[in-house]
Amino acid sequence: MTSILADVGAATLLLALLLSIYAAVAAFVGARRRRERLVASAKNSVFVVFGVLSIAVAIMEYFLLTGQFQVEYVAHYASRTQDMIYNLSALWGGQEGSLLFWGWVLAMFGVIVLAQNRKKHQELIPYVIAGLMISEAFFLVLMTVVTSPFKMLDFVPEDGQGLNPLLQNIGMFFHPVTQYLGYVGFTVPFAFAMAALFTGRLNDVWIRTTRRWTLFAWLMLSLGILFGGQWAYVELGWGGYWGWDPVENASLMPWLTATAYLHSVMIQEKRGMLKVWNLVLVLLTFLLSILGTFITRSGIIQSVHAFGVSSMGPYFLVFMGATLIIFLWLLMSRLDDLKEENELDSLISRESSFLLNNLILVGAAFATLWGTIFPMISEAVTGKKITVGPPFYDAVNGPIFLALVILVGICPLIGWRRATKENVVRNFLKPFSFAIATDVVLFVLGVRDAGGLVAFGVSAFVLATIALEFYRGAKARLRQYRENALWALLNLIEHNRRRYGGYIVHIGVMLMVIGVAGSSFYKTDVQTNVKKGETITLRNYTVRYDGLKEIQRSNHSAVIATITVTENGQPAGMLFPEKQFYPNQEQPSTEMAVRSTLAEDLYLILAGWESDGSASLKVIINPLIIWLWIGWIVLVGGTLITLWPDPREDHAVARIEGREKLLTAAVRVNT
């Protein structure tokens, strides 16, 4: 029965590949030759691709949940003793399964795009289908030619290996899903951009149509980075949340270019500028998303996040190269249609600050890219392995991100087109004074590190500018509508979700900056050996080691240290850091223990122990780190506000399309 289902699963992948190729060709040919039935057939094929891939996913999940270990993928990533939730998430826990999940999500997005545009954008949709299905076909080629998720073993193991113990964490249940949703989501705006280039319909329609798709993908990738950082913080046992690992970098790079795109499209919508630049940003974001999967799956880098060595690297390089060549050819052929409608009027304007914001974001992305690929290039040329670690990224990206944060505060203070110096000085005075006052207070309270003072001062400056924007807007509503303060604020956000939702996102970013600054500049730690009853004192905390105990759980054993914590001489609870031992794993995994407050985290690691019962404990104090997680939550909230459907956006698209249709009709009459 299992072998029959495996054959069915493999057949569905082959069928999906053939259908996706057919859909891409039929949509393109049907659009070029104006054959509506051929385009309709292509649309139907997209639904069938999603259906057959859903069957493949269902078969794989059945294998994982029922322990069909004669399937090689199941033998590697599922286990009888593994919790059901991790057998379920094993679908995206390995290389073949994650490719299947990626292809299924992309097919689902294709169905959603067609459902959203049943009666809209019919000139663009065939080319959008072609773009989505070509990407789908690429991943299906990998699953049918290079590495099949339904490959069978010659024997039936008694049990599977299960997921790496590091991945048996609830954060890793959500992290890959949200990250893949982000990566795959960026395919949709890229497909619309290619459709706009093919058709010559290069007005704002494709941008406005894909704005929510871009925001959704950006939000999912943001959540992926958040869950990944949280997982690293609680699971890897080193007291940090971001190590500039190549796979971490792979998720950051498209996030940076997508952030640049979300800002620069506002200039195109407002002033008709940066049309070529926006298309390039969409391309970069898509290619960097594909590059992320290439880095993870090619085996050319070593990472706790990466999969093993495989032969699919050249396929990714060919796909990315072909995509780049086709895009550049289309872009060059449409340059006459992409002329700027306006020019930059002044260096002191919101347009110039947005443009500088874009350059900084793209600069950070390429600095990260260079640090990620340089070891690969160096090894290929010299044969020697080198490592580019956190010092490089901190030295290069640190100043870049600081400049970016400052710009976040400056942009709201400068008007469109041209701002007078008097207006700029007047707008800057209060936020700048607040920043200075914040640093003075912190200095008096004992904060001396220059880097921390700069970060906190800049954060105070930005938060003050955002607060002023909310205050001015709410005050105007109070005068005009006689509302109470709370309703004025809520209605202000409701009637301009995009602007004030964006400000809330910026508040989240500033809270994250505070968390990063506190944990980076003021982190303290100590590691020492202690006997039962002995204590370790670090700042205002005293931790007493009360001994070890060993327990057996369903699929592993654990050695647990019992720790009593006091803060400023007062009882502060118990913590239980541990080491976990899994069968077939050479090294134990570390489970840290943490006590979190708004001021700081007390982070304990059981580093080791001796036969006499003594233990080696590492104690870390991470100031303000909880504000990093709070900032992410605020960022998500602000993004959801901007994502909420706004009828005015649809009306704007309808007006643009109406004008274009009238213009086209007039041209036909004249000719």
- Token pair, residue 504, equals 């809330």
Assign 501 a pLDDT band (cuts: 50, 70, 90).
very high
Distances (CA, A) of 575 to 136, 425, 566, 602, 604: 48, 52, 11, 10, 8
Assign 280 a pLDDT band (cuts: 50, 70, 90).
very high
Average pLDDT over residues 635-655: 78
Residue 427's pLDDT is: 76
Assign 416 a pLDDT band (cuts: 50, 70, 90).
low
Assign 434 a pLDDT band (cuts: 50, 70, 90).
very high
CA 12 remoteness from chain centre:
30
Q: From CA 218, how far away is CA 216, in angstroms rounded? A: 5
Residue 420's pLDDT is: 63
| 308 three-class SS | coil
Distances (CA, A) of 421 to 15, 416, 436: 65, 14, 21
Average pLDDT over residues 356-374: 89
Residue whose C-alpha is closest to residue 305's, from 375, 364, 229: 229
Contacts of 81 (CB under 8 A, 6+ apart): 159, 162, 554, 555
Assign 518 a pLDDT band (cuts: 50, 70, 90).
very high
Is the pLDDT at 663 greater than 80? The verdict is: no
Is the pLDDT at 662 greater than 60? The verdict is: no
Q: From CA 73, how far away is CA 60, in angstroms rounded? A: 9
pLDDT for 281-333, tens place per residue?
A: 999 999 999 987 777 765 555 554 444 445 777 888 899 999 999 999 999 99
Sign of CA dihedral 321, 294, 144, 111: negative
pLDDT for 29-46, tens place per residue?
A: 999 988 999 999 999 999
Write the burial class of residue 319 (CB in 10 Å: 0-12 exposed, 13-18 middle, 19+ buried): buried
Residue 15's pLDDT is: 97
Average pLDDT over residues 439-444: 92
Is the pLDDT at 653 greater than 70? The verdict is: no
Residue 304's pLDDT is: 47
Q: From CA 602, how far away is CA 623, in angstroms rounded? A: 9
Average pLDDT over residues 217-224: 94
Residue 143's pLDDT is: 93
Contacts of 45 (CB under 8 A, 6+ apart): 19, 20, 22, 23, 26, 133
Instruction: Provide the 8-state DSSP code for 217.
Output: H
| 96 three-class SS | helix
Assign 667 a pLDDT band (cuts: 50, 70, 90).
very low
Residue whose C-alpha is closest to residue 102's, from 37, 183, 197, 32: 183
Residue 136's pLDDT is: 96
How many H helices and E strands in the chain? 20, 10
Residue 477's pLDDT is: 86
Assign 484 a pLDDT band (cuts: 50, 70, 90).
confident
Averaged pLDDT of the chain: 87
Q: Which residues of 426-451 are buried (b: 16+ CB within 10 A; e: fewer)?
A: ebbeebbebbeebbeebeeeebeeee
**Contact yes or no for 294/320 (Cβ under 8 A):** yes
Q: Which residue has the higher pLDDT, 105 or 247?
A: 105
Amino acid at 535: T
Is the pLDDT at 567 greater than 60? The verdict is: yes
Domains of the chain, residue spans:
420-519+633-641, 524-623
Residue 173's pLDDT is: 82
Q: From CA 63, how far away is CA 602, in angstroms rounded? A: 42
Average pLDDT over residues 75-87: 88
Average pLDDT over residues 596-616: 92
Is the pLDDT at 660 greater than 60? The verdict is: no
Q: 640-647: long-range contacts at Cβ-Cβ below 8 A with a sequence spacing of 24 or more?
A: 640/219, 640/501, 641/493, 641/497, 641/500, 641/501, 641/504, 642/215, 642/497, 642/498, 642/501, 642/502, 642/505, 643/212, 643/215, 643/216, 643/219, 643/501, 644/497, 644/501, 645/212, 646/497, 646/498
Q: From CA 171, how far away is CA 440, in angstroms rounded? A: 39
Length of the chain equals: 671
pLDDT for 180-200, tens place per residue?
A: 999 999 999 999 999 999 998
Q: From CA 539, how far away is CA 74, in angstroms rounded? A: 49
Contacts of 53 (CB under 8 A, 6+ apart): 12, 13, 16, 100, 103, 104, 107
Q: Which residue has the higher pLDDT, 212 or 389?
A: 212
Rg (CA), the chain: 27
